[in-house]
Amino acid sequence: MTPLRQRYIDDLRLKNFSPGTIHVYVQAVAKFAQHFQRSPDTVTREEVRAYLIQLMDRGVSRSYSVVCRNALRHLYQDTLKRPDWVSVSEIPRPKRERRLPVVLSREEVQRLFAVVTNLKQKALFMVAYDAGLRISEILNLRLDDLDSRRMVIRIRQGKGKKDRYARLTPGLLELLREYWLEFRPENLLFPGATANKRYDLATPGHLLKKVCRKAGITKRVSMHTLRHSFATHLLEAGVNLRVIQQMLGHEKIQTTVLYTHISLEEQRAAPCLLEFLQVKRGSDDSA
């Protein structure tokens, strides 16, 4: 590891970035350096600007473009202590993409859990769906985070480095007890290959895709799909949006409002205008 990379990582750690964010930023800077085939501290201001514009021209996603901008901003502004970022920051950000997430229907969720034969996988998937947790939050859960008296799950340092509580329903508690009796986890609720080693973040998603294929579900799913389905199904059941916001751990209600565009129950309940036209036509004919 080069001294510059180590200093960059240390600077990000001092800013209290999560290990996942640090990894993403370091990878973005590494690709930037590979593009120029030299150290980033020798790249000129105009070359940085041209690189970001090239990313936009290549059609990379908005999220990746923003990651690159942020990674380079921290590198040049904080680690290299150079003012080069001033002109680069004037490049307009790509317009935010509005894409609705994939959501499973309640019937598809039933089919999914009907074909899960591995109890550990079933318990892990159910925590994502019934408690609405992110995969990173699930894999960090410890046995003492489950409070069966208050019926809550403690989330330690979730997104944004914040603690919060999620609900623990009786059905989920019963499933987790059944899982514990069979697998006897000691510390982490869902350990990896060894008792104190965490699952790889990608592993549950791969397992979920296999289960979905077995259940005949053709949608492009990820572990986050279960969280999206959790929020959408609660909204369709009439749960207040503010309550869903708290359950998801969203800082801003605008993030939760996304699910009002996904829920179709109220749209289905709206009257069919074509029927109005047919009724009007029928009354005209009778006249």
The DSSP H or E segment spanning 38 is none
Catalytic site includes residue 250: yes
Catalytic site includes residue 179: no
d(CA 26, CA 5): 8
Catalytic site includes residue 23: no
Name the active-site residue from 49, 73, 111, 134.
134
| 194's tokens | 């060894």
β-bridge partners, 153: 146, 166
Half-sphere exposure of 217 (CA within 13 A, CB side): 25
Name the active-site residue from 69, 122, 227, 233.
227
d(CA 74, CA 81): 9
Backbone angles phi, psi at 37, to 5 degrees: 60, 35
d(CA 181, CA 265): 39
Q: Which stretches within 149-272 are classed as H helix?
A: 170-183, 203-214, 223-236, 241-248, 253-257, 265-269
Catalytic site includes residue 159: yes
Measured over the CA atoms of residue 31, residue 37, residue 39 and residue 42, the dihedral's sign is negative
Catalytic site includes residue 261: no
Catalytic site includes residue 49: no
Name the active-site residue from 5, 49, 159, 209.
159
Name the active-site residue from 45, 111, 142, 224.
224
- The residues assigned a catalytic role are 134, 159, 224, 227, 250, 259
